[in-house]
Chains A and B, each alone.
Chain A
């Protein structure tokens, strides 16, 4: 007799239909850990037995699914697209009758994020039951965060994809209700902080934590102890957040570190490898599609993870470029039943070429890894800066630069005919950064300028500029003068 006499609350079972008593105890031990973070919410996987069976099928077919041709999509993909065109109003309205997909692939119109915003009701297939719909949100780094429909079964597909990626490095993830499989590290002002169980991994746990001292019961010291006790097998996070973990001196030895969310520069990878002493793996993944490609130990570039997503590089007109040519990444397929993607323009750029006889995504230019700092040295994610900018001004584009002394320079290219409320913009940024010198200005020639940049610390190939967490950037008394919206360095149109 194990002596287990727990009572799993109905709310927990609703979030985790297959939760076991052992899993529930593990979750409780994490939530109640004396050095735990300040949890912001509760969550679960919503996976039932049917979902697990479907997941098992997905896992088994994964190794054989990777097929790619330089000449176009596989018959599996074109067959899937034909079904989607026949069943969804959005795609049907954009394709001429009788179009031969294999021969005329380049004529198939590319879809964009704008379509997801404006025509979601037509994109969701009419026969997809909506009762299991869950909402996922894009990061919102370069555009307004976007709520999208997804399904627990689509989300849990991440598990076998991570298993397959780790297997490339001879790493097998341990499962069961006595291990923490993944710790997701973030460095933001307003993150979700939670612990959860995964039925897909026999009730192994995960945590999502944030590296700001006020988000921990016992500050940075407590965070270090928590991570030591956690013994997570895999650490995940954006490169900038993982560098923050290095700055916090979180001294752990996971089996692997997997970076997501932004491009991983070689210098950052080296720094992380030195700190964590394990393989540093980069994943290319979108909220819209789930994971698409991941790095492999046998050569450069990112290996395509699964045949259910067709990745192509296209030019500005939507035409596929020659192998090895740089262009925009477009995705077709996917495992989200509510979001069938057909030549979806990702806004990310790279090139596709053969490495060791198979296609690899090379020179990926996704979002640059940038981390901003408040006046007292706390982390601010670019998506939060973007949201602060957009909350105060409708603009064509913007650029925010944090200079070496911590000053924030925010440039806005206003939308035609829509005045910018400069004071509101200044106030919004001040609310995020605190007492730093903040300059907002009108710049009608921003063009293709990178939207976010920080001179404080680099996360690229240079190792210079390490910053102690919590280091005060600017004397608040001095900063208090500089942030006056009517000071000389604020544009005259204020």
Chain B
């Protein structure tokens, strides 16, 4: 018995017949962020894990692949979701809403979408709570930039270098890495200071000259 009645229904993503002409080229980041900010509650709901009720993320992901590629995904283009964390699944859901923007229709291939959902969002899920990407402007920008990058799409009105620099500046993994490196540096400095104190307490090592 499932308790799916307690959860909103799994959202359906409908495929537009043709991409709107306005999105033939590149998309401005602001438009994508605006779309993200308008994420419907059903894409923010708890995902289904095992038999515990909630949104069927696998179904949503399959829908978005159809939308983005224009084709049904083959079985080997899907990947098992059972082992993913709840946070990772929620990021897939939110990203699916982002990818439902008409701009992406027919622009990607299933492999890229699967890789992005699995690895890129997996890394992000270790560092960022899914709720934040719709509430925090910087995290929203990060997800939008990563979605575009994941599908190989440029950002309108930016050079590739500018986009890369901006992503580096706001990238969560970089921020966390810098914090971790800083913590490691402090820890190592403390270790070295302790070893120096221990070394001072010992008899000096004999050397036959003073440099």
Q: Write out, one digit per residue, whether chain A residues 184-205 have a CB within 8 A of any chain B CB (1) or not (0).
A: 1010000010101110000000
Whether the pair A283, B206 counts as a contact (CB closer than 8 A) is: no
Chain B positions within 8 Å of A186 at CB level? 210
Min CB distance A118 to B, Å, is 11
Decide yes or no: A41 and B203 within 8 Å by CB, A158-B209, A258-B209 being known contacts: yes
Partner pick for B188 among A121, A139, A283, A286, CB 8 A cutoff: A121
Chain B positions within 8 Å of A152 at CB level? 205
Interface flag for B127 (CB, 8 Å) = no
Decide yes or no: A130 and B205 within 8 Å by CB, A135-B200, A238-B210 being known contacts: no
Q: How large is the interface on B (under 10, 10 to 19, 20 to 34, 35 or more residues)?
A: 20 to 34
Secondary structure type dominating chain B contacts: helix
Interface flag for A334 (CB, 8 Å) = no
Whether the pair A206, B206 counts as a contact (CB closer than 8 A) is: yes
Whether the pair B203, A15 counts as a contact (CB closer than 8 A) is: yes
Whether the pair B189, A43 counts as a contact (CB closer than 8 A) is: no
Whether the pair A43, B206 counts as a contact (CB closer than 8 A) is: yes
Chain B positions within 8 Å of A387 at CB level? none
Partner pick for B211 among A89, A135, A260, CB 8 A cutoff: A260
Q: A237 vs B207: C-alpha distance in the bound complex, in angstroms?
A: 12
Interface flag for A175 (CB, 8 Å) = no
Q: A44 vs B204: C-alpha distance in the bound complex, in angstroms?
A: 8
Chain A positions within 8 Å of B191 at CB level? 121, 130
Interface flag for B12 (CB, 8 Å) = no
Min CB distance B67 to A, Å, is 38
Min CB distance A411 to B, Å, is 27
Chain B positions within 8 Å of A324 at CB level? none
Min CB distance A342 to B, Å, is 18
Whether the pair A89, B185 counts as a contact (CB closer than 8 A) is: yes
Partner pick for B202 among A134, A147, A162, A238, CB 8 A cutoff: A134
Chain B positions within 8 Å of A147 at CB level? 196, 200
Interface flag for A222 (CB, 8 Å) = no
Chain B positions within 8 Å of A206 at CB level? 206, 208
Of residues B189, B196, B202, B208, which shows the largest number of chain A Cβ atoms within 10 Å of its Cβ?
Answer: B208
Interface flag for A400 (CB, 8 Å) = no
Q: A46 vs B209: C-alpha distance in the bound complex, in angstroms?
A: 17
Whether the pair A158, B208 counts as a contact (CB closer than 8 A) is: yes
Whether the pair B195, A133 counts as a contact (CB closer than 8 A) is: yes
Decide yes or no: A121 and B210 within 8 Å by CB, A43-B204, A134-B202, A147-B200 being known contacts: no
Interface flag for B184 (CB, 8 Å) = yes
Chain B positions within 8 Å of A41 at CB level? 203-204
Whether the pair A260, B205 counts as a contact (CB closer than 8 A) is: no
Chain B positions within 8 Å of A291 at CB level? 211
Whether the pair A134, B205 counts as a contact (CB closer than 8 A) is: yes
Interface flag for B160 (CB, 8 Å) = no
Interface flag for A285 (CB, 8 Å) = yes
Interface flag for B198 (CB, 8 Å) = yes
Q: A134 vs B202: C-alpha distance in the bound complex, in angstroms?
A: 8
Chain A positions within 8 Å of B204 at CB level? 41, 43, 134-136, 192
Partner pick for B189 among A121, A181, A208, CB 8 A cutoff: A121
Of residues B190, B204, B205, B207, which shows the largest number of chain A Cβ atoms within 10 Å of its Cβ?
Answer: B207
Partner pick for A135 among B185, B196, B208, CB 8 A cutoff: B196
Decide yes or no: A135 and B210 within 8 Å by CB, A44-B205, A121-B188 being known contacts: no
Residue positions of B touching A, CB distance < 8 A = 181, 184-186, 188-196, 198-200, 202-211
Q: Which 6 A-B pairs have the closest CB atoms?
A: A121-B189, A196-B206, A135-B199, A130-B195, A285-B211, A182-B208
- Beyond A43-B206, A120-B192, A121-B186, list 18 extra A-B contacts (CB 8 Å): A41-B204, A44-B203, A89-B185, A120-B196, A121-B193, A124-B192, A130-B191, A130-B194, A134-B204, A135-B196, A149-B196, A182-B209, A184-B208, A184-B209, A196-B206, A208-B208, A260-B211, A291-B211
